[in-house]
């Protein structure tokens, strides 16, 4: 039966109802990820009773969850008993190439969920809400005491990095670059993708001392160890010399003064002829749809950082003695290249 066209007022009502109840969907998706629905359906465990037995969940609640997931387009059922996953559900599969499994779990867990419950206060004060929600200075301090949730967050960042790394490597020209350094790069997904694309490139990761061993192990596993270096340190203090610095998803975590400090350290150690590459979301014009303005609200609430317009990036570069020379697109990210201003 074809649904009749709704009048404009009714469409607005329906759309706003979807916005107001959006957090319901977030937690339904969280449950779908936590209980591995994509994996179960792929393996043929496809009834509510079978999934409930496998996951030790309530059978009736599981049946209702699957029905709700079907209403969201995550799965289908011809008989109301046996379910099949859709390509949308597959984005929650742990092993999917562009998996969002851990992102779905971490973003809806208490570390993020409770500060977001105080979002109006973030707008009123301009301050992030982690301290008020958790009694910690930063969300990373919170994670230090909540290791399982921290592991989910780390895996979620890996999900996003894996998806973006190949796109970033594809748009960066590394000819003539002797050493590329991934600042705050964790396990180094981006620089390793660059090294795979350019067999002559030497690369490395500069991150906190307890983080870099994972990058070294990842490089060994890919056969890149001979061209790969890990260095522990703090990019607010200084950074090692390099031809090319990559800052993926770094500047958006910090206020302007902190960003300028990081970029000045890059400028001070940059080898002659080198570049600084910033990979971040780029906020477009007013009313332009996309993830960037929403992620900006996440930064406001969670870190005190921000997503930026191009003019704001340019102001950071100028304050750090750099100038923008190129902008490329890599998936959802802007790849912004800068060189010394003089």
- Cα–Cα distance, 24 to 17 (Å, whole number): 11
- Cα–Cα distance, 162 to 304 (Å, whole number): 25
Catalytic residue of the set 40, 93, 128, 252: 252
Helix 147-171 vs helix 189-197: crossing angle, to nearest 10: 30
* Cα separations in angstroms, 185 against 43, 108, 114: 35, 24, 27
Residue 6, SS3?
A: coil
Annotation marks residue 252 as catalytic = yes
Which H or E element spans position 26? helix 22-34
Please spell the DSSP secondary structure of 63-101, one letter per residue: HHHHHHHHHTTSEE-SSSSS-EE-HHHHTT-TTSTT--H
- Cα–Cα distance, 334 to 36 (Å, whole number): 32
Tokens of 60: 């009736």
Cα-based torsion angle of the residue sequence 288, 290, 292, 295 in order, rounded to the nearest 10 degrees: 130
Catalytic residues: 252
């Amino acid at each position: 039966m074809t649904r009749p066209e709704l009048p404009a007022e009714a469409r607005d009502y329906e759309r706003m109802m979807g916005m107001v109840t959006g957090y319901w969907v977030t937690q339904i998706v969280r449950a779908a990820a936590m209980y591995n629905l994509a994996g179960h359906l792929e393996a043929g465990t496809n009834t509510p009773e079978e999934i409930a037995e496998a996951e030790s969940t309530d059978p009736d609640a599981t049946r209702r969850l699957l029905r709700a997931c079907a209403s969201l387009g995550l799965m289908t059922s011809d008989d109301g008993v046996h379910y099949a996953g859709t390509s949308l559900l597959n984005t929650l599969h742990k092993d999917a190439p562009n998996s969002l499994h851990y992102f779905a779990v971490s973003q809806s867990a208490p570390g993020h969920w409770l500060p977001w419950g105080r979002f109006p206060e973030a707008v009123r004060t301009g301050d992030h809400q982690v301290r008020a929600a958790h009694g910690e200075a930063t969300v990373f301090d919170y994670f230090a005491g909540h290791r399982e949730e921290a592991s989910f967050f780390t895996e979620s960042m890996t999900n996003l990095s894996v998806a973006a790394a190949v796109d970033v490597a594809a748009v960066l020209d590394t000819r003539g670059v002797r050493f590329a350094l991934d600042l705050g790069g964790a396990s180094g997904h981006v620089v390793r993708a660059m090294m795979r694309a350019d067999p002559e490139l030497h690369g490395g990761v500069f991150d906190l001392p307890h983080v870099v061993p994972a990058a070294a192990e990842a490089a060994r596993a890919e056969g890149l160890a001979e061209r790969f270096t890990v260095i522990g340190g703090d990019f607010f203090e200084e950074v090692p010399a390099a031809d090319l610095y990559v800052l993926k998803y770094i500047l958006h975590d910090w206020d302007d003064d902190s960003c300028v400090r990081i970029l000045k350290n890059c400028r001070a150690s940059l080898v002659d002829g080198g570049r600084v590459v910033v990979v971040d979301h780029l906020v477009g014009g007013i009313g332009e749809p996309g993830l960037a303005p929403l992620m900006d609200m996440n930064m406001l609430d969670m870190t005190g950082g921000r997503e930026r317009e191009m003019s704001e990036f340019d102001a950071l570069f100028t304050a750090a003695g750099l100038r923008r020379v190129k902008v490329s697109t890599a998936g959802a990210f802007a790849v912004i290249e800068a060189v010394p201003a003089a």
